[in-house]
Amino acid sequence: MQRVCCWTLALLLCLGSSALADTAILRNGSSYSGQFTSANNGAITFTDGQGVQYQFPRRDVQSLVFTSSNDTVTLRSGKVYSGRFNGTSPIGFEDMQGIKYQFPISDLESLVFSASSQAAPVPPSGAKEIATGTQISVHTNEAIDSSQSTEGQTYSAQISEDVVDVNGGIAIPHGSPAQLVVRKIAAGPGVRSPELVLDLYSVTFDGKA
C-alpha cells in the first residue's frame, strides 16, 4: 500500500456458484476461507497406522487435522482414521478473493471441508447475482499509509463504476459507499510473510450494507 488521497483499487468479488467454502487453519492462528485445490482426481489419499492406504472422495471428507506425530481424517459418516496424509505438499488453496496459496503441511493445523452435497441457500426475493470474478473499481476517500495501517483497520471508500449483474442490470450503482479493510495474507510463492493487503469489506446501497 502507499500514501494516497484517491486510489482506484480493482477488487475481485468472489460470489457465484457456491456459497460454501473450505477453511484452512494455520498453526499461527490465521484462517482462510476458500477452496482446497490439492485433491488428485477429486480424492484425498491417506495411510492409516497399519499401513493401509485409502483414497477418500473429497465429498466424503469432513476434516483433516495435522500434528507432528499423527494426522487424523474424519469422514462425514463419522468414521475417523489416524495415520498420515499422503497428498501433495505444500497444499494448494485458493481464497474467496482468488488469491492462491501453497501452505506447507508443517504450517497447517487443520482443514475443514464444505459439505458439497448440501444445497446452497436460496437467495432472498429480488436479489441480484453477480458473476464470479467480477471486478469492482473502488476510490478511497482518505489517505492510506502502509506504515500506519494495522490488520482489521477500515477505510472509507466508494464504488467508482456501476457493477452489473448476470442479466446486465445494475447490481451496485457507482457512488455507493464502501469500506475497505486491511488484512494479512500468508506466505506464498513470491509473497513475504506477513503482507498487508486491502480487501473490500462492505458496500452500502438501497439503505443496506
Q: Encode pLDDT of 9-63 as tens digits.
A: 333 333 333 346 889 999 888 888 888 988 877 889 999 988 889 999 988 999 9
Spatial contact of 101 and 186, defined as CB atoms under 8 Å apart? yes
Q: Whole-model pTM above 0.75?
A: no
158, 124, 94, 46: CA torsion to nearest 10: 160
What CA–CA distance (Å, rounded) separates 146 from 195?
Answer: 10
| Rounded average pLDDT over 141-151 | 80
CA 13 to chain centre: 11
Report the alpha-carbon distance of residue 20 to residue 74 in Å, rounded: 19
- Residue 17 is predicted with a pLDDT of 34
Specify the range with the lowest mean pLDDT, choosing from 48-57, 70-79, 196-205. Answer: 196-205
Report which secondary-structure segment, H or E, holds 165. Answer: none
- Check if the beta carbon of residue 145 is closer than 8 Å to that of residue 196: no
Closest CA to 24 of 38, 43, 11, 9: 38
Residue pair 45/58 in contact (Cβ under 8 Å)? The answer is: no
Intra-chain end-to-end CA distance of the chain, in Å: 25
More confident residue, 60 or 97: 60
Residue 139 phi/psi, 5-degree rounding, is -105, 130
Q: Which three cell numbers stand for residue 60?
A: 466424503
Position 118 scores a pLDDT of 43
Name the one residue in this structure whose C-alpha cell is 429480488. Answer: 126
